[in-house]
Chains A and B, each alone.
Chain A
Amino acid sequence: MSTKIIELGSHQLALEEPMYFRVQLEGDRVADLDVMPGQVHRGMEHLVMRRNLYQNITLLERLCSLCSNSHPSTFCAAVEDVAGIAIPERAEYLRAVADEIKRIASHLFCCAVQANVIGETTLFRRVMEIREIMQRAKEAIYGNRMDLAANVIGGVRYDLDADSAAYLAGRMEEMKKPLDELYLQYENNPAIMARTAGVGVLTREAAREWAVVGPVARACGIDYDVRKKSPYGAYDRLEFEVALQTAGDVRARNLVRLAEARQSVSLIEQCLDGLPAGPLCADTLPEIPAGEAIAKSEAPRGELMYYLRTDGSDFPVRLKWRVPSYMNWDALKVMLKGEPVANIPLIVNSIDPCIACTDR
């Protein structure tokens, strides 16, 4: 069998972000691959140390725009841990609302892109139109369709009054039917099944070995969701089931995402129903002492970890991340092995790789 090496870039991979793969082929099947990262390396570790804790809220929101709320909220949680700040209950609920809105939009974007990759243009447009309901809701409530600017150290800086809460509840109602319908489509539509079922399989054992997280792990039957395993913020007061699948293929990953999007709708409704009265922020300008902390959250792509060290000044001494895509894209080696070249873009998109997060 002939062996050759090809290089694929973002245009061939149908990715929004620049990423390059060196793929080793045997015949027309993938034998091995190398990810060549770094195109979106913006020197974030260097930048965060040159920006004070306030500036970092905005900077970190732009670490990646698809999970843009997870970054500042997890960062703020780390700062609050160092300073011993307990944020008001209302702020905990409002952070959860912001996170879940972003989760729905992020998951739908991933499912839409995959529909486009397999040539289901009508479905692609349909998913994007449904996602648009969330985009509009974000703009109406937060003033921006991607970067919500919801978090500050000690709480949040947006509020839901009776009007905006009712508006958001209306949008959630509007999402239910389309989300249920999309789940059935991705589950049963024969054309989609033909392209996604049994494709890009990651076994449960391999998933453990490669330490994948988020929907990629849950699609292999691994019951791991930070919101359940180590609840933060309001999540210990909210009810939901961890979305699980067992097949570990592209289809299973999408079903996990769509089930989670549907749960997010319910989580937002629970937040709106149980939204406690009270202040939005513990203290406008709290003193941040020297210390260190780790904060975790369940970002749309999986477990997101922040390590923060401070020295009593306004500037962090160290800020480190572990982002979910890092482990997930390493596992592409396993998912792609033996797959035909034509499936590469689909499988790559099925892990919802966030290059901005990973390259930083």
Chain B
Amino acid sequence: MAIHEPGSAAEPVGLFRINTGSCNGCDVELAVTSAVAEFDVEQLGCRYTESAHEADIVLVTGPLTVRAREEVLRLHAATPRDKVTVAVGVCPVSGGVFRDSYAVDGPLERHLPVDVNVPGCPPRPQALLEGIREALEIRRARREGSEPTRLPGDRKQPGKPGTDNFPARGRLSFDAAACVDCRMCRHVCAAGAIRFEERDESVRLTLWHNSCVFCGLCSHYCPTGALSVTGDWRLDHRATDAFRQIERGEVPYAPCAGCGEPIIPAAPQLLHAAFRRPNPEIEKLKNLCPTCRQRMSIGVPRR
């Protein structure tokens, strides 16, 4: 007698969705993975179910509002014990742009165990499928009592030709050599994803991909192009690796050429932005602190 394992052709893996108060972006994209042939979860041997007790994989969207909490926890508790839980989008992981609101009670992990995170705002369907693939691998490994074989940090872009010919707004990349420590990026970041730390030898920028909503506003307002949007959207990872998903760089202090005070020198990109074609006289300015710069250009420090 054949035993029908879920996941075999006879019985697909059940996907169950819980919306914890999302902006509906992730939910509409999940709908795409049930309707559009190219992204259909059927290709992974899955199907969506409307009943919690059929859930093999739970897909959670939204920042978890206070109002939705009770129902979310009830639904999640009604799913089988051995399900795999996937946090879809950055909201369940960090709150995304909704963090610090009285009406939001995330992160989701404070209330229930999460296995996989799929950053994005919203993640594109290709990223959703990768997240589900990761969840399937965890599920298989758990059943066999083995370790999941897929390596964390496996950033190989999958893709059949034709599915992936557009550059999506993905992970932000930081070029410390171009940074002038103006902190405009942090000022405009709605999600609070960017942090500056003043250390002994340098200023350190840390950007957390689980908070970033990939809007690219930091890069738009960055005067030197130190922050740029890459096309790398493959950011799905084990929830245990959540805090390793960062972009980081150190901008070292250098002594002021005039007085020796530690300063962040002006990057060549800034001089080019300000003077177009800086001459050697202008180049000298970049290693001076504001006071010495004023002394050099107008004779006295400005009061």
Name A residues whose Cβ lies closer than 8 Å to a Cβ of B. 10-11, 16-18, 38-43, 46-47, 50-52, 54-59, 61-66, 68, 109, 112-113, 124-125, 128-129, 132, 135-136, 139-140, 142-147, 149, 152, 157, 284, 354-356, 359
Contacts and interface: CB of A to CB of B under 8 A. Distances in A.
A16 B32 contact: no
Contacts of B122: 65, 144-147
A40 B31 contact: no
Given A18-B68, A47-B98, A144-B169, A42 B21 contact: yes
Interface in B26-80: 27-29, 31-32, 35-38, 50, 62-63, 65-68, 71
Given A17-B27, A55-B188, A55-B189, A149 B21 contact: no
B187 A52 contact: yes
A300 to B, nearest CB: 13
Given A62-B25, A63-B23, A146-B25, A16 B101 contact: no
Contact of B168 (A124, A144, A284, A354): A144
Nearest to B192: A55
Contacts of A56: 190
A124 B35 contact: yes
B103 A42 contact: yes
Interface of B: 19, 21-25, 27-29, 31-32, 35-38, 50, 62-63, 65-68, 71, 96-98, 100-104, 121-122, 124-125, 166-169, 187-191, 213-217, 220-221, 229
A57 B24 CA distance: 18
Contacts of B36: 125, 128-129, 132
Nearest to B50: A11
A284 B189 CA distance: 16
Contacts of A50: 100
B208 to A, nearest CB: 16
B169 A149 contact: yes
B54 to A, nearest CB: 13
A15 to B, nearest CB: 9
Contacts of A157: 220
B96 A46 contact: no
A41 B65 contact: yes
B168 A139 contact: yes
25 contacts: A18-B19, A18-B68, A40-B21, A41-B21, A52-B187, A54-B221, A56-B190, A57-B217, A59-B97, A61-B215, A65-B25, A66-B24, A66-B28, A125-B35, A128-B31, A128-B36, A132-B32, A143-B229, A145-B125, A146-B25, A147-B25, A152-B220, A354-B24, A356-B22, A356-B24
Most interface-central of A54, A58, A68, A147 (chain B CB within 10 A): A58
B215 A58 contact: yes
A112 B35 contact: yes
Given A18-B71, A40-B68, A42-B101, A51 B22 contact: no
A104 B149 CA distance: 43
A42 B65 contact: yes
Contacts of A11: 50
B68 A139 contact: no
Contact of B190 (A39, A55, A112): A55
B24 A64 contact: yes
Contacts of A152: 217, 220
Contacts of B32: 128, 132, 135
B225 to A, nearest CB: 14
Nearest to A157: B220
A356 B23 contact: yes
B191 A139 contact: no
Contact of A149 (B27, B103, B217): B217
B179 to A, nearest CB: 19
A157 B38 CA distance: 31
Most interface-central of A40, A52, A54, A112 (chain B CB within 10 A): A40
A43 B97 contact: no
A198 to B, nearest CB: 28
A52 B186 CA distance: 11
B29 A62 contact: no
Most interface-central of B35, B166, B169, B214 (chain A CB within 10 A): B35
Contacts of B189: 55, 58
A16 B213 CA distance: 21
Given A62-B121, A112-B35, A149-B217, A41 B24 contact: no
Please name the 5 residue pairs, one residue from A and one from B, whose CB atoms are nearest each other, closest first: A65-B25, A43-B103, A143-B169, A43-B101, A58-B190
